[in-house]
Amino acid sequence: MKAKKVIYRGSNNIFADIGVAHPERILVRAKIMFYIAEIIRKRGLTQKRAAEILGIPQSKVSCLVNGKLSSFSTDHLFELLNTLDTDVEVIVKPKTKYEKIATTNVSLVEYQ
């Protein structure tokens, strides 16, 4: 007899789906890291050149483009974005009456 496969519908946050603590914060960092990696890729920068521009070791650029989340704080990622001539805007607002809990989210404007 064949085993029955069970498929679960995930949320919009893989980190929540796998039970990571503070999944919204981690997703924010992951999105920002992806955005920085896209800037590096679209500018055609080598990891060595990106390291020179960002003022970090090449090994840290490798961590950045390979998604090693534990290597960077959100604050440091904001600094790296600014170094790459990218504005960072943080909006803090009360949750709406329709939301059960307050959330953390990041909206990224497509890099040209």
**DSSP assignment of 71-98:** G--HHHHHHHHHHTT--------PPPTT
| Within-domain flag for 64 | yes
- pTM, full prediction: 0.82
| Within-domain flag for 17 | no
CATH of the domain at 100: 1.10.260.40
What is the predicted pLDDT for the residue at 1?
67
User: Which regions of the chain are under pLDDT 50?
Assistant: none
Task: Compute the distance between CA of residue 82 and CA of residue 78 in angstroms, rounded to an integer.
Answer: 6
Task: Compute the distance between CA of residue 89 and CA of residue 78 in angstroms, rounded to an integer.
Answer: 9
| Within-domain flag for 100 | yes
| Within-domain flag for 15 | no
Residue span of the structural domain in which 49 resides: 22-112
Joined tokens for residue 43? 């500018």
CA-closest candidate to residue 61, choices 43, 75, 73, 46: 46
| Within-domain flag for 90 | yes
**Cα separation of the two ends of the chain:** 53
| Within-domain flag for 12 | no
| Within-domain flag for 61 | yes
Q: Is 57 helix (H, G, I), strand (E, B) or coil?
A: coil
Q: Is 13 helix (H, G, I), strand (E, B) or coil?
A: coil
What is the predicted pLDDT for the residue at 36?
96
What is the predicted pLDDT for the residue at 108?
82
Task: Compute the distance between CA of residue 13 and CA of residue 27 in angstroms, rounded to an integer.
Answer: 7
| Within-domain flag for 68 | yes
Number of domains in the chain: 1
